[in-house]
Structure 1
Amino acid sequence: MLKDSSGGDIGVHASISVAQALLGAGAIDEVRLVVAPAIAGHGRRLLDGLPPIRLEPLRSATSPKGYLLVVPI
Structure 2
Amino acid sequence: MTTPAEKLTDKTAAITKNVCKRHKLTKAETLQVLNIAPSSEVEIHLIVEEAEERLDPVAFLEELKAALGSATKRVDV
What interval of TM-score do these two structures reach, taking the shorter chain for normalisation? Answer: under 0.3
Given the two structures, how large is their TM-score scaled by the length of structure 1?
Answer: 0.25
Higher normalized helix content (fraction of residues): 2
| Larger strand fraction of residues | 1
Question: Which one has more relative contact order, counting CA pairs under 8 Å at least 6 apart?
Answer: 2
